[in-house]
């Protein structure tokens, strides 16, 4: 993803978070934030990155580990690794989103590998009919990008997208739930989809 | 239109994200910004001290924790040992700890954990000290702190055990934990 989540919705702050950050940082791209973390050890820049990627990172880790208790620790350590390893990020090698995805995935996979080693005597005799590892990794990256992009939407647009696509409500049901006209739901949905298309439009190198 | 359809397909295939626990932001921020250039590895596999792990009823787990603490003794009630090495751990809000290691003898190595500034664990929760041995996390001791936030716990490690990192978690009976102290 060569365009960052911040490119389209630069001024958004995540309503789920209570931490105050300097407003001017909200306009920076993910790459700029990561560079501030690396060069200035800027805790506020780190907080903005956290807000943008917390749900994407946490969802990825839970998906890989299927264990929310362990996921708490792994997600925590993934963000600690972002802080520690930020100096190793090179913009020319890829997007910040891809770098964050790799850190979170490696954190979870490391844990999974250890678990597999502990139950090595219980390996199945039949091959796993599930998706190939490469397919899984692509799907994980895609979901990671989508979750981060949705979290970057303005709050009003994000709520209609979440109700429609994550909760499975029809547009009429979304209108009822939010107590807003159906036309407003349609407008917000279309605007949000266009905004997401701008963020997700380019393939990750 | 096709572009928007593609986005809709991506949204459906991504499925709903998992909501992040409210406490994670503060914990992650402290772990990151308050972290020293730690040797801490990202992975945190866990090895249960008890054969039936978290399936035990809460009362039995707490009883086992109390028994373990009694077995390893409490500082001040057993003679001191010659300290051959030490390490420090730090956490949020000024919490800290030191771990003294004695010389290995008779297949064991004595250790003493001294904790300061750690709020007493609430009901149903307790502190646990871990060490990473190879790729495994090994539980070393369970404890709680007193009203002053302090605790002194003595225990022992296997004499030939080499370890890479050390940390303390706040454990919840029945599952759930987060790191409260880690090696500097």
pLDDT of residue B71 exceeding 60: no
Residue B128's nearest CA partner among B19, B48, B29, B42 is B48
Tens digit of each residue's pLDDT (9 = 90 or more) over B88-134: 888 888 888 888 888 877 778 888 888 988 988 888 888 988 887 76
**pLDDT band at residue A9 using 50, 70 and 90 as cut-offs:** very low
pLDDT > 90: what percent of chain B? 3
Alpha helices in chain A (DSSP H): 30-40, 43-65, 68-85, 96-118, 133-151, 155-161, 171-178, 182-200
C-alpha–C-alpha distance, residues B168 and B139, integer Å = 10
What ipTM did this prediction achieve?
Answer: 0.73
Tell me what the mean pLDDT of segment B66-75 comes to: 38
Tell whether A194 lies on the interface with B, counting CB pairs under 8 A. yes
What residues in B contact A75, CB-CB < 8 Å? 20, 24, 28
Burial of A35 (0-12, 13-18, 19+ CB in 10 A): buried
Between residues 170 and 189 of chain A, which touch chain B (CB distance below 8 Å)?
none
Nearest residue in B to A76, CA atom: B28
What would the two tokens of residue A83 be? 């802080």
C-alpha–C-alpha distance, residues B184 and B180, integer Å = 13
Lowest mean pLDDT among A76-80, A177-181, A192-196: A76-80
HSE-up (13 A, CA, CB side) for residue B7: 21
Which residues in A87-122 are b (16+ Cβ under 10 Å) and which e?
A: eebeeeebbbbbbbbebbbebbbbbbebeeeeeeee
User: What is the value of pTM for the model shown?
Assistant: 0.53
C-alpha–C-alpha distance, residues B151 and B156, integer Å = 16
Tens digit of each residue's pLDDT (9 = 90 or more) over A151-175: 989 999 999 999 999 888 999 999 9
Residue A100: phi and psi, rounded to 5, are -65, -40
Neighbours of A203 (CB within 10 A): 8
Strand order in the sheet with B108-116: B136-143, B125-133, B165-172, B177-183, B85-91, B96-101, B108-116, B151-158
C-alpha–C-alpha distance, residues B137 and B123, integer Å = 25
pLDDT of residue A182 exceeding 60: yes
Tens digit of each residue's pLDDT (9 = 90 or more) over A146-157: 999 999 899 999
Cβ-based neighbours of B157, under 8 Å, separated by 6 or more: B101, B108, B109, B111, B131, B140, B163
C-alpha–C-alpha distance, residues A14 and B25, integer Å = 12
pLDDT at A36: 92
Residue B110's nearest CA partner among B144, B58, B73 is B73
Tell whether A70 lies on the interface with B, counting CB pairs under 8 A. yes
- Distance of CA A83 to CAs A46, A71, A103, B18, Å? 7, 18, 11, 23
Residue A95's nearest CA partner among A151, A28, A45, A31 is A31
- Measure B31 CA to nearest chain A CA, in Å: 6
pLDDT of residue B179 exceeding 90: no
What residues in A contact B31, CB-CB < 8 Å? 76-77, 79-80
Work out the mean pLDDT of chain B and round it to a whole number.
71
Contact B35/A83, CB-based, under 8 Å?
A: yes
> Could you tell me if B12 and A58 are in contact, meaning their C-beta atoms sit under 8 angstroms apart?
no
Q: Please, what is the end-to-end C-alpha distance for chain A in angstroms?
A: 7
Tens digit of each residue's pLDDT (9 = 90 or more) over B4-17: 889 999 998 888 88
Nearest residue in A to B26, CA atom: A19
Dihedral in degrees, nearest 10, Cα atoms B21, B24, B25, B26: 130
- DSSP E strand boundaries for chain B: 85-91, 96-101, 108-116, 125-133, 136-143, 151-158, 165-172, 177-183
C-alpha–C-alpha distance, residues A44 and A106, integer Å = 25
């Amino acid at each position: 993803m060569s365009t960052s989540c911040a490119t389209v919705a630069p001024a958004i702050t995540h309503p789920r978070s209570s931490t105050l950050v300097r407003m001017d940082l909200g306009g920076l791209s993910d790459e700029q934030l990561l560079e501030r973390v690396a060069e200035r050890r800027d805790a506020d820049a780190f907080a903005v990155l956290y807000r943008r990627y917390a749900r994407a990172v946490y969802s990825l880790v839970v998906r890989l580990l299927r264990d929310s208790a362990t996921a708490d620790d792994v997600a925590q350590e993934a963000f600690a690794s972002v802080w520690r390893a930020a100096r190793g990020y090179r913009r020319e090698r890829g997007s910040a989103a891809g770098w964050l995805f790799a850190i979170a995935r490696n954190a979870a996979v490391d844990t999974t590998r250890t678990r597999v080693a502990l139950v090595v005597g219980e390996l199945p005799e039949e091959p796993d009919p599930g998706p190939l590892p490469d397919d899984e990794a692509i799907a994980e990256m895609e979901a990671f990008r989508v979750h981060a992009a949705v979290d970057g939407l303005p709050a009003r647009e994000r709520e209609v997208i979440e109700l429609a696509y994550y909760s499975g409500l029809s547009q009429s049901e979304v209108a009822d739930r939010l107590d807003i006209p159906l036309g407003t739901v349609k407008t917000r949905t279309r605007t949000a989809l266009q905004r997401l298309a701008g963020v997700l439009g380019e393939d990750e190198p | 239109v096709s572009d928007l359809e593609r986005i809709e397909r991506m949204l459906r295939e991504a499925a709903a994200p998992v909501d992040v626990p409210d406490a994670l932001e503060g914990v992650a921020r402290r772990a990151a910004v308050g972290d020293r250039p730690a040797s801490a590895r990202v992975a945190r596999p866990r090895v249960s001290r008890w054969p039936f792990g978290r399936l035990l009823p809460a009362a039995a787990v707490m009883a086992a924790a109390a028994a373990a603490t009694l077995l390893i003794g409490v500082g001040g009630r057993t003679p001191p040992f010659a300290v051959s090495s030490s390490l420090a751990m730090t956490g949020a809000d000024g919490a800290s700890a030191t771990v003294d290691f004695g010389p290995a003898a008779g297949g064991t190595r004595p250790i003493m954990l001294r904790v300061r500034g750690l709020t007493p664990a609430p009901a149903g929760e307790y502190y646990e000290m871990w060490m990473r041995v190879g790729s495994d996390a090994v539980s070393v001791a369970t404890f709680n702190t007193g009203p002053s936030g302090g605790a002194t716990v003595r225990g022992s490690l296997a004499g030939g055990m080499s370890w890479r990192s050390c940390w303390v978690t706040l454990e919840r009976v029945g599952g759930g934990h987060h790191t409260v102290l880690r090696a500097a």
